[in-house]
A and B are shown apart, each in its own frame.
Chain A
């Protein structure tokens, strides 16, 4: 799915030049750029985006998941990056199948990801491989189920 568009985002250009395999798709919507990254390349791509001197995505603003149940791949994990000096935002997206919702942790790249990943684990059941301390954060430790999944009722199980 190589997109032929003239990408305005320097980050997408750079990523493409560096390793075209890290990009499965580029989505432009309302002036926001989303790069879909294969799960296996996420850590490498993150390390590149933070360390490349002309990009410097040093600030991880947010990690959030969307559950597309019952569509497969079911989960989309979104990473909202920000380059503080260049004032550019970029969203990385990783698609995960419902029966194997694991993704490499990026805590070693952005330490702030620690609580974000715990939250996504707690509410969606996404497992972040290599996370130093993957526990529930908002729900009680003995809670069953992951409340923000679409097959979890709004009123909870009674």
Chain B
């Protein structure tokens, strides 16, 4: 890669500096071309695409079920949110109704995903701004949540646990006790992080009044999630367009009005606490027994036992795993609230067993577009804080 440093003709003495694509605070392979006047950022331009892997194109060559494994790799800090959104989109296309038990388990696990994702965010953002110790604590707690995922799905990160029509496996016995242990310990840990950060004077100096975006700008730039709520817009897909029985849960939308990095930090910390509330409610709602997959012969695989004892079960099992299934022609757009904002899947079917087109509305991609607005006119050091609070995952930005 060639690095170009040039002085624009005529202008005052400015310098062009490449930040990234290999830079510890760009969280992956983001490159930001900064035009500097001294230490002040005159112009910031994100350059992306270094992690482009053609996931949308690959989906077109796989059956609907196979494509689930690709969705894990988009936002690798919240694989279950991606699984959920894709499955909901295909289920909408098929017109499937999911059993309540599976819906509650989906809510429980995606909220744990949100907690895990926000924990990574707090830790890495703090390390970017020089607060080393928080990182060590948040990763300790995140690991406990990943252990739950491993216990339930067999995988720490690339779970692919949600399937079209329900869940992949029956959760192992006693898994809720495991969740309860982790969830009961969490609130005091969150207090610890807040003790370390919320009234820390260095932290306040680095985040308050930095990277301000107004509500109207945030809407115009299509920002969503904590980016939007930190600017005072109370929009949360879970409330606005409830999916997977979110309307049965009692929780609040967390907003702040300042629109700066500190506001976004506050929103995310408060969201962790809200998610703990939702997980607690979900634990009470999940029935001990019941179907985890909907009955849809030819679309949803039969249970292991049915496959081994009935001829129809065997035929369906064979057909689903060799040919797949063909939804009716049509297009759907499904959105959910991922830890980063409004995650959308647009799925178009042409009536064959493979999706004709899958488009991911990646919240990181669109939130990142606001970075020049946040960073211009500020110091280089503030760019780090701004990138941090947009909470990007490059796997999702570049797809």
Interface positions, chain A 19-78, Cβ under 8 Å from B, are: 29-30, 32, 34, 58-62, 64, 66-67, 78
Residues from chain B with a CB closer than 8 A to the CB of A89 are 241, 333
Residues from chain B with a CB closer than 8 A to the CB of A67 are 357
Interface positions, chain A 101-158, Cβ under 8 Å from B, are: 110-112, 114-116, 123, 136-140, 147-148, 154
Smallest CB separation, B359 vs chain A (Å):
4
Could you tell me the distance between the alpha carbons of A114 and B93 in the complex, rounded to whole angstroms?
A: 29
Would B332 and A32 count as touching, CB distance under 8 A? Answer: yes
Would B52 and A138 count as touching, CB distance under 8 A? Answer: yes
* B14-22, B217-225, B295-303: which lies at the interface: B217-225
Interface positions, chain B 353-396, Cβ under 8 Å from A, are: 356-357, 359, 361, 365-366, 369
A-B contact number at CB 8 A: 87
Number of interface residues of B (CB under 8 A): 38
Which residue of B has the minimal Cβ distance to A152? B57
The 0/1 profile, CB within 8 Å of A marked 1, for residues 335-367 of chain B is: 100000010101010000000110101000110
Which residue of A has the minimal Cβ distance to B335? A61
Residues from chain A with a CB closer than 8 A to the CB of B348 are 66
Known: A111-B221, A139-B49. A29 touches B330 (CB 8 A): yes
Residues from chain A with a CB closer than 8 A to the CB of B95 are 30
* In the assembled complex, B264 has its CB within 8 A of some CB on chain A: no
The 0/1 profile, CB within 8 Å of A marked 1, for residues 230-269 of chain B is: 0001010000110000000000000000000000000000
Could you tell me the distance between the alpha carbons of A154 and B285 in the complex, rounded to whole angstroms?
A: 44
* In the assembled complex, B92 has its CB within 8 A of some CB on chain A: yes
Would B399 and A30 count as touching, CB distance under 8 A? Answer: no
Could you tell me the distance between the alpha carbons of A115 and B221 in the complex, rounded to whole angstroms?
A: 10
Could you tell me the distance between the alpha carbons of A30 and B141 in the complex, rounded to whole angstroms?
A: 40
Overall SS of chain B's interface: mixed
Would A111 and B346 count as touching, CB distance under 8 A? Answer: no
Would B57 and A148 count as touching, CB distance under 8 A? Answer: yes
Could you tell me the distance between the alpha carbons of A138 and B56 in the complex, rounded to whole angstroms?
A: 12
Which residue of A has the minimal Cβ distance to B94? A30
Which residue of A has the minimal Cβ distance to B239? A87
Residues from chain A with a CB closer than 8 A to the CB of B61 are 154
Choose from A61, A66, A123, A148 the contact partner of B222 (Cβ within 8 Å): A61
Choose from B240, B335, B344, B398 the contact partner of A138 (Cβ within 8 Å): B398
Would A154 and B57 count as touching, CB distance under 8 A? Answer: yes
The 0/1 profile, CB within 8 Å of A marked 1, for residues 28-61 of chain B is: 0000000000000000000011001010111011
Which residue of B has the minimal Cβ distance to A143? B49
Smallest CB separation, A52 vs chain B (Å):
16
Residues from chain B with a CB closer than 8 A to the CB of A80 are 333, 344, 346, 361
Known: A64-B359, A80-B344, A87-B241. A111 touches B220 (CB 8 A): yes
Interface positions, chain A 80-101, Cβ under 8 Å from B, are: 80, 84, 87, 89, 91
Of A29, A30, A32, A139, the most chain B CB neighbours within 10 A belong to A30
Could you tell me the distance between the alpha carbons of A148 and B49 in the complex, rounded to whole angstroms?
A: 15
Residues from chain B with a CB closer than 8 A to the CB of A29 are 330-332
Would B331 and A66 count as touching, CB distance under 8 A? Answer: yes
Known: A29-B332, A137-B49, A154-B60. A112 touches B346 (CB 8 A): no
Residues from chain A with a CB closer than 8 A to the CB of B369 are 112, 114-115
Which residue of A has the minimal Cβ distance to B398? A138
Could you tell me the distance between the alpha carbons of A38 and B369 in the complex, rounded to whole angstroms?
A: 29
Residues from chain B with a CB closer than 8 A to the CB of A60 are 222
Choose from B49, B219, B240 the contact partner of A140 (Cβ within 8 Å): B49
Could you tell me the distance between the alpha carbons of A29 and B399 in the complex, rounded to whole angstroms?
A: 28
Residues from chain B with a CB closer than 8 A to the CB of A32 are 331-333
Residues from chain A with a CB closer than 8 A to the CB of B356 are 66
Residues from chain B with a CB closer than 8 A to the CB of A154 are 57-58, 60-61
Interface positions, chain B 192-221, Cβ under 8 Å from A, are: 219-221
Smallest CB separation, A42 vs chain B (Å):
18
Residues from chain A with a CB closer than 8 A to the CB of B235 are 84
Smallest CB separation, A6 vs chain B (Å):
21
Smallest CB separation, B253 vs chain A (Å):
13
Smallest CB separation, A73 vs chain B (Å):
15
Smallest CB separation, A82 vs chain B (Å):
8
Would B398 and A62 count as touching, CB distance under 8 A? Answer: no
Could you tell me the distance between the alpha carbons of A123 and B365 in the complex, rounded to whole angstroms?
A: 15
Q: Which residues of B contact A (CB under 8 A)?
A: 48-49, 52, 54, 56-58, 60-61, 92-93, 95, 219-222, 233, 235, 240-241, 330-333, 335, 342, 344, 346, 348, 356-357, 359, 361, 365-366, 369, 398-399
- Can you give 29 contacting A-B residue pairs, CB < 8 Å? A29-B332, A30-B92, A30-B93, A34-B331, A58-B220, A61-B361, A62-B333, A62-B344, A64-B346, A64-B357, A66-B357, A78-B333, A80-B333, A80-B346, A84-B235, A91-B331, A91-B333, A112-B221, A112-B222, A112-B369, A114-B369, A115-B369, A137-B48, A138-B48, A138-B49, A138-B52, A147-B57, A154-B57, A154-B58
Given A61-B222, A84-B219, A147-B54, list of 11 further CB < 8 A pairs? Answer: A59-B219, A60-B222, A87-B240, A115-B366, A137-B48, A138-B52, A138-B398, A139-B49, A139-B52, A148-B56, A154-B61
